[in-house]
């Protein structure tokens, strides 16, 4: 991944702006400058797009790194159980116990997060209702 270089960005921007023709119409000149600036900026510092998976995780702020690790471990357990040809009832019971405990912890974390958000927005009723609606 290429690092952003302010020197390269400024030098290319200066070259483009110095080669622009001077116009009588201020609006068209401003539009040209803004488009040129946006093009150079996108070339040197493009916006990073999130994958669907990361978007979903960002939309759930109550999921901590530890909970995400536990979810991955649960999924790995499930995948390993699915691959085995022999059904081991003890392993399935162990998986279900882990899954149920994890679901309980996720729900507890979610409730705690929203309680904290409501506590923060205690004096602002519109912010409080916005928080409640997202739950």
Contact between 9 and 44 under an 8 Å Cβ cutoff? The reply is: yes
Measured CA to CA, the distance from residue 64 to residue 75 in angstroms comes to 17
Long-range contacts of 87-92 (CB under 8 A, 24+ apart): none
- pLDDT tens by residue, 79-126: 988 887 677 888 889 999 999 999 999 999 999 998 888 888 888 888
Q: Which residues does 12 contact at the CB level (< 8 Å), separation at least 6?
A: 40, 43, 44
Reading the block at residue 31, the tokens are 């539009």
Q: What is the pLDDT of residue 135?
A: 66
Among the ranges given (34-38, 64-68, 108-112), the one the predictor scored with the smallest mean pLDDT: 34-38
Reading the block at residue 110, the tokens are 């979610």
């Amino acid at each position: 991944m290429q690092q952003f270089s302010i020197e390269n960005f400024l030098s290319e921007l200066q070259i483009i702006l110095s080669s622009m023709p001077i116009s009588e119409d201020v609006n068209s000149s401003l539009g040209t400058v803004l488009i040129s600036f946006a093009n150079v900026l996108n070339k040197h510092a493009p916006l990073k797009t999130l994958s669907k998976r990361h978007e979903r995780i960002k939309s759930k702020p109550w999921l901590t790194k530890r909970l995400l690790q536990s979810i991955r471990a649960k999924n790995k357990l499930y995948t390993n159980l699915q691959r085995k040809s022999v059904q081991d009832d003890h392993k399935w019971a162990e998986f279900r116990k882990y899954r149920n405990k994890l679901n309980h912890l996720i729900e507890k974390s979610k409730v705690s997060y929203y309680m904290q958000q409501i506590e923060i927005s205690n004096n602002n009723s519109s912010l409080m209702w916005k928080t409640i609606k997202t739950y």
